[in-house]
Structure 1
Amino acid sequence: MKVACVGGGPAGLYLSILLKLRDPSHDITVHERDPEGSTYGGGVTYWRGLLDQLHAHDPVTARAIEESSVRWNEGVAHVRGRTTRRSGDTGHGIGRHRLLEILAGRARSLGVRLEFEHEIMPEKLPVADLVVAGDGVHSTLRTQYADHFGTRTRRGRNRYIWLGTSKVFDAFTFAFVETGHGWIWCYGYGFGPEGSTCVIECASETWTGLGLDTANEDDGVALLERIFAGVLDGHPLAGRSGADGGAEWRTFRTLTNRTWHRDNLVLVGDAAHTTHYSIGAGTTLALEDAIALAGALHEHAALPQALARYEQERKQALLSVQSAAHYSAEWYENLPRYIRLPPQVMFALLGQRHSPLLPYLPPQLYYRIDRAAGQVEALRRLKRRLGPKVARTVQARALASGK
């Protein structure tokens, strides 16, 4: 089969790897419009579940990614001069440059052709059995056929900017700072010894009140460095480096499509769907798309059936993730509802921001219910763990006493 992957991001590269592993005779080319290595800086996050999937499908790639990643198992929130820490599941971070370097190297080693500085236009698609549109949220291939795909976008209310810093965070870090124009906050996570990603967000009113809407990039970054000086420990912030230019403030666009394929053209990754950055799932979902598409192509010889199976599987898998992302984004858009709570309560509800119930209950009531449910579940786990041991002890004592 001849395959053309348009876009050299994680989805297209990993798909090419999986297809070559299944059948080395596949003729696969990845087309990327930007120069090699020019992707924007910063890191991406993922969780153990993704790593397990990668090990199952290609241990070589999985080991390289795991060895290049950092880990954390705590969250830290800085609010009104107080710091709250909570233990949690182990998270992983890896530099985006390094991730793409690993995937590109593995693809090349398997015989995939990588063509950089080669832009594919919608009116002149490559001659191939399958064309994979992995060219991101602004996909020109999807846009060309937007009516067919049924593309819809919904813009969030808050403003955000994606920055980097030389400060290496040892935990997933949140910092909320009150200004004369409202609250502004950052999410920070390490991706290697060289630094961390730092996403900064605020309401539109705060953005304009602070003058960030009219400040040039250098002045805006300098202001943010002063606002978050406490958490940055004197380290600078830096805009995104790469072919797309410097940092800019955006509103998040949640993108969905009614269908993900048209004839021999199929969407993957951000070209097919987006989920709010606050749940840190974008790269994971892109790689899972590649896994599902490779599996469907292997199981179904006829392309229409394979693409239909891929779309059905991934849409179903995305339902819970998209719901979590929706409620997470809303939590931050309604930050004043939570920010005045005691720090430990506020941080606990930050961890529960994916809940569809939280917006409809008073926060303190939800917190008490959640704690009570957690205590009940802890007792159940203790019972399951100790029950057999207690039963054996009672039985042994009964036998010893002759009863």
Structure 2
Amino acid sequence: MRIACLGGGPAGLYFAILAKRADPTREIEVVERHRPEDSFGRGIVFSDRALETLRQADPPSHAEITRNFRHWSDIDIHFKGERITAHGHGFSGIARASLIRILQARAEALGVKVSNGSEFTDPSPWDDRDLVVGADGIRSAVRRSREARFEPVVRESRNRYLWLGSTRRFDAFTFAFRETAHGWFNLHGYRYDERTSSCIVETPETVWQAAGLADMGYEESLAYAEQLFADVLEGEPLIGNSQRFDHPSGWQRFAGIRCRRWWDGHTVLIGDAAHTAHFSIGSGTRLAMEDAIELARCLSRDNGDLASALARFQAVREPLALRALETGFRRMEWFEDIAAHAHLAPDAFAVALLTSSGRLDLEELRRRDPQLMGSFSATAR
């Protein structure tokens, strides 16, 4: 079987690893537009449960990934001059470039051909392959090439965001909130290696416009965000990204995407090419790699019947992806309207944030962090 994976991010590389392991006679090529060091997003977050899934799927790559992780269990929430710490949340961070290098080395060791720096806008050169896997992300060229067949449905956030890095080494997953004369801004920060953290700065479109950010260049936007969150950053700078942006200021809008159909003929979409999840729930890479696990499993199970394998793949994964999409939308909507929660006391605000996606309820929070919930209950009285 000849397979082309168009997109060499975590989804494409992980599928190539698992598919080659399952059948070493398969000829698999991964084609990626960028070099690993050019990867967008800087840091990636995995929960402890997600790491166990990766351990079961491919122990060698899991071992190498965990050797490069930064682990934490606390969430810090900065609001109205106070810092609320929530305990009992197990996460690990890794540089996206490091993850890709680990997966690429593992794939190549198994005999997968990996081509970096190979730009493509049309998947037709790979039409002679038995299977084409579109793993080329949210701006998928594979999806665009058959848009009428994949039927993507898109919902854009009402917020704008910048995805940056910083030399501020956060000790916990950090949320910070700032009220300005124009409205609310928030920062999501997490450390992913010994020296660097990811920082996402977000604000509603109306606030972005009122603050004059629509008329600023990229470097001006960085300086504005850096000054706004200077105390949380402890004087450390924000670091820009080499990614090309739709708007000159660098501020983007998250696009929630779900395709009604994930496969067409011998072409299948996985990861962000097929479905997205809002960055505030930290599930995008996990979902993409779980897609890779299931696609490899279905190919082996259906024993040469490609249509049955791809249909089974969508049937298994789509409900899980849609659940994550809806979870992400709930959290996205919460961040779109911070002003509606701003009257809350800091403890109550922290609990509202932690439960905003619906993944955690008050009982689970009480189990994880009795001290926080005791403080919240006292405030509520």
Same fold (TM over 0.5): yes
Which one has a bigger Cα radius of gyration?
Answer: 1
The 5 A counterparts of 1:13-24 are: 13-24=13-24
- Structure 1, residues 56-102: CA drift from partner, whole Å, max 9, x if none? 11111001111101011111111111111111321110000100000
Matched, 1:257 2:259: yes
Q: Residue type of the partner of 2:269? A: L
Partner of 1:207: 208
Please say if 1:97 is aligned against 2:93: no
Contact conserved, 1:77 with 1:174, CA < 8 A, in 2? Answer: yes
1:323 pairs with one of 326, 333, 347: 326
Alignment-derived partner of residue 63 in structure 2: 63
RMSD of aligned C-alpha atoms?
2.2
Q: Pick from 274, 277, 296 the counterpart of residue 276 of structure 2.
A: 274
- Find the counterpart in structure 2 of residue 348 from structure 1: 351
The correspondence of residues 38-187 of structure 1 with structure 2, limited to 5 A, is 38-40=38-40, 42-120=42-120, 121-187=122-188
User: Residues of 1 paired with 2:326 and 2:243: CA distance?
Assistant: 32
Q: 1:313 aligns with which of 308, 313, 316?
A: 316
Tell me, in whole angstroms, the C-alpha distance in 2 between the residues paired with 1:32 and 1:321. 26
Which letter does structure 1 place at the counterpart of 2:126? L
Letter in 2 for 1:160: Y
Shift of 1:124: 3.0
> What whole-Å deviation, never above 9, does each CA across 1:275-327 have from its counterpart, x for those lacking one?
11110101000100000000000100200000000000001222322221111
Q: TM-score, normalised by structure 2?
A: 0.92
Q: Distance in 2 between matches of 1:294 and 1:318?
A: 17
Structure 1, 120-129 or 299-308: larger mean CA deviation: 120-129
Unaligned runs of 5+ in 2: 371-381
Q: Read off the aligned partner of 1:74 and give its amino acid letter.
A: D
Alignment of 1:225-236 (within 5 A): 225-236=226-237
Q: What SS is found at the alignment partner of 2:40?
A: coil
Q: Which residue identity lines up with residue 254 of structure 1 in the other structure?
A: G
Q: Letter of the 1:19 partner, please give it.
A: A
- Amino acid across the alignment from 1:308: A
Deviation at 1:328, TM superposition (A): 0.6
* In structure 2, distance between residues paired with 1:372 and 1:152: 35
Q: Structure 1: how far apart are the matches of 2:86 and 2:365?
A: 15
Aligned runs of 1:184-195 on 2, under 5 Å? 184-195=185-196
Matched residues in 2 for 1:378 and 1:96: separation?
30
Counterpart secondary structure, 1:37:
helix
CA shift for structure 1 position 36: 4.7
Offset, 1:122: 3.3
One-letter identity of the residue aligned with 2:316: E
Aligned 8 A contact 2:275 2:321 in 1: no
Contact 1:161/1:247 (CA < 8 Å) preserved in 2? no
Instruction: Find the partner of 1:248 among 225, 250, 263.
Output: 250
Partner of 1:335: 338
Whether contact under 8 Å (1:4, 1:126) holds in the other structure is no
Whichever residue aligns with residue 62 of structure 1, its letter is H
Instruction: Provide the rounded CA distance (Å) in 1 between the counterparts of 2:244 and 2:336.
Output: 31
Count of residues in correspondence between the two structures: 367
- Partner amino acid, structure 2, of 1:291: I
- Cα separation, 1, equivalents of 2:260 and 2:249: 31
Residue pair 2:72, 2:92 contacting (<8 A) in 1 also: yes
1:401 alignment partner in structure 2 = none
Using the size of structure 1 for normalisation, the TM-score is 0.87
Residue 230 of structure 1 and its aligned partner are, at CA, apart by 0.6
Displacement of 1:118: 1.9
Deviations 1:341-376 (A, max 9, x none): 0000000010010139x9xxxxxxxxxxx6579779
Which residue does the alignment assign to 1:362? none
Task: Give 1:247 shift.
Answer: 7.4
